[in-house]
Every structure is written in structure tokens, then in C-alpha cells.
Chains A and B, each alone.
Chain A
Amino acid sequence: MGIFIQILLVLLTLLGVGIIVYTRNIVHAAYALCLALVGIAGIYVILMSELLAVVQIMLYAGGVVILLAFGVMMTNRLRGDKVISGSNNALIGAIISLSLFSALAYLISNANFRTANIDHNDQIREIGISFLTEHIVAFELIAFVLLVALVGAAYLAKMAGDE
């Protein structure tokens, strides 16, 4: 049963990635990205990273995809264009990405990882404690970076609106 769900989630993600690679419609690509991200969130649950799965769905599938759809509407759609985008250098891109994949697959097949069985109980509590003790500097910095980035993005978008 578990292996069946894993294969299903991987196929869902592969479907999303395949649609992104083949489609020429940007809105379809944004929704296919949403599909792939939900599939990856399910894989996170199987990999025993439940908090990461929740963060993935809330920030990526909820935030980033909506932002991308807004981006499409604010650029191409304003002029009444079709949201169709061509592609070029398909052969060179395929060669580069396939050789990258085969290099990575060669490294993975030669690697020898030792694995261990570890119980992850009370995971969110552990992560919260380590955010506020061991990783406190990174935690505060990331909050500051998020604030500055959001204010900056709002300012840049306002500048665009004033033109």
C-alpha cells in the first residue's frame, strides 16, 4: 500500500513536470507547477517531513503559483496577447539537461550511503526548539529578509503602477 502511494505521488509530480516541459501556454504551466508541488508535498510526508510538507503547500502551492498567475495577467494579458510562449534552442537545451541528468545519475549510482532507522517523534516541537535555540540567528535573519523583500517588492510594483 505504501509503495503504491509513493508511485502514485511520483507519477503525479512527473505529470506536472511533463506538462511544464511540453506546454506553450504559461497559465497551463503555472497550474501544472501547482500539481507538481502538491505531489512533492506528498513525497515529503512519505519522507517523514510533515512540517516541510505543510510549508510547501502553504507557501509554494498557495503563494508562489498565485503570484505567477498574477504575473502572467499583469504582463501578457494587459495587452490582450495570447499567453502563448514559444521555445528555442530545444536541441541544445535537451543535450545539456540530459548530460546533466546522466552525470548526476552516475554519481548517485556510484555513491554508497549508510542509512539508519530513526524515530522522528514530536517533530514539529523539535524543529521549533532548534529554530529558537541553535538556529536563532538564521531564524531572525530570514524574518528580516522576508520583511525587506516584501516591502521592496511592493515598492517596485508601485513604481511600475505610477508610469
Chain B
Amino acid sequence: MNEEHLTYYLYFAAFLFSSGVFVVLTKRSAIFVLIGVELMLNGANLVLASFSQYDHDMKGQIFAIFAIVITVCEVSIALAILLNIYRKTRVSNLDELREVGN
């Protein structure tokens, strides 16, 4: 592994992050937006892992594992909230969602 490989993976992670931003900005459905957030988080984790291979303590890998667990929490809470919103307002497209509350 030399430096060219590192920059190559960093470009790839930048691509993952920006395509996640594209999905979040353009798609209408809330679940699509969650998928875009997942892509962005994976780009960030890829950067952490690709720097971690040059580190004795593997701090990047440990940080990425913590980030993955936080993501799982986030997705489960977000889907429960979406389910609640859907049951109350019968809306799953974010554009049609005009009010949150009673």
C-alpha cells in the first residue's frame, strides 16, 4: 500500500459522500433520504479505515466501529418516527409533510 492507493480510496470516499448528498437533496421519500444518509456515513467510515492502516493503535477502525453502532441507533429511531408520522398523517413523502405535532 503506498500513497497512490490512499488518495485513490479518498477520492472514492468523496464520491460516496457526494452521491449521498445528491440522494438526500433530490429524492422525495423519507426512506430514500435515510439511504442517502447511510451512503454519506459510509464515505466517512471509509476515510477512517483507509487512514487506520497507517496507525499503530488502529484508532480509525475503533472510531469507525463506534460510528456504525451510532448509525444503527439512528436508523432504528428514525424508522420508528417515520412509522408514527405515517400512521398519524398518511404521508411518507417529505414534501407533503406540512405539520408535525397533533
Residues of A within 8 A of B (CB): 10, 13-14, 17, 20-21, 26, 29-30, 33, 36-37, 40, 43-44, 47-49, 51-52, 55-56, 59-60, 63-64, 67-68, 70-72, 74-76, 78-79, 85-90, 92-94, 96-98, 100-101, 104-105, 108-109, 111, 113, 115-118, 120, 123, 126-127, 130-131, 135, 138, 142, 145-146, 149-150, 152-154, 156-157, 159-161, 163
Q: Given A75-B31, A149-B76 in contact, is the A108-B11 Cβ separation under 8 Å?
A: yes
In the complex, A163→B83 CA distance in Å? 11
Q: How many residues of B contact A (CB 8 A)?
A: 70
Q: Is the Cβ of A17 less than 8 Å from the Cβ of B75?
A: no
21 pairs of residues in contact across A and B, judged by CB atoms under 8 Å: A17-B19, A20-B19, A26-B31, A29-B35, A51-B65, A52-B61, A55-B65, A60-B38, A60-B71, A68-B75, A75-B82, A79-B90, A89-B26, A105-B14, A118-B53, A120-B58, A123-B58, A149-B74, A150-B73, A157-B83, A160-B86
Q: Given A29-B32, A108-B14, A115-B2 in contact, is the A100-B21 Cβ separation under 8 Å?
A: yes
User: Interface on chain A toward B: helix, strand, loop, or mixed SS?
Assistant: helix
For B22, the closest partner residue in chain A by CB is A97
Besides the contacts A20-B23, A96-B22, A101-B17, what 11 more A-B pairs have beta carbons closer than 8 Å? A55-B68, A56-B45, A64-B38, A68-B34, A96-B21, A105-B11, A113-B3, A116-B54, A127-B61, A146-B69, A157-B80
Q: Given A63-B72, A113-B3, A120-B53 in contact, is the A152-B80 Cβ separation under 8 Å?
A: yes
User: Interface on chain B toward A: helix, strand, loop, or mixed SS?
Assistant: helix
Q: Is the Cβ of B81 less than 8 Å from the Cβ of A156?
A: yes
Q: Is the Cβ of A68 less than 8 Å from the Cβ of B84?
A: no
